[in-house]
Amino acid sequence: MLQFRFNSKLDSGGFNLRALLKAQITYEHLSGFRSLYVHLMAVVALPVWLQAIWPNLLPPETRFLVLALWGVLFSLASCATIMEFLARRELNRRLAANNRGFEVTDPGRLS
């Protein structure tokens, strides 16, 4: 099991630690938003599928509203996915910068 260690010798003021934690929190928030939007899309898609089975189930105004809501959620999920990808790259960059100070000779044994 790989454990996280922060190199305090390279960051005496704690600025890199704050940036690393901020990147982690940002990534977690964006991941949560993406998951929320995708789940909401699945819930809103139910009336769309019911409309496909029973064509006259919903009035045209309601159908338009449901499809518009699904489109908005799709746009939000797409935007959150892109932002999550960028946040993950930033987090990986900060983790790599932190790990540069450590020389691990035996990955099974971390002290």
- pLDDT tens digit sequence for 60-90: 899 999 999 999 999 999 999 999 999 999 9
Q: Is residue 45 part of a domain?
A: yes
Is residue 94 within 8 Å of residue 16, measured between CB atoms? yes
Radius of gyration, alpha carbons of the chain: 22
Query: What single letter denotes the amino acid at residue 23?
Result: A
Q: Is residue 76 part of a domain?
A: yes
Q: Is residue 78 part of a domain?
A: yes
Q: Is residue 28 part of a domain?
A: yes
Lowest mean pLDDT among 35-44, 45-54, 76-85: 45-54
Q: Is residue 55 part of a domain?
A: yes
Q: Is residue 74 part of a domain?
A: yes
Q: What is the pLDDT of residue 107?
A: 55
Average pLDDT over residues 1-18: 64
Give the other-Cβ count within 10 Å of 20's Cβ.
20
Q: Is residue 43 part of a domain?
A: yes
Domain that holds residue 51: 16-99
CA distances from 105 to 12, 108, 111 (A): 25, 9, 11
Is residue 10 within 8 Å of residue 101, measured between CB atoms? yes
Domain count, the chain: 1
Contacts of 47 (CB under 8 A, 6+ apart): 57, 58, 62, 66
Q: Is residue 110 part of a domain?
A: no
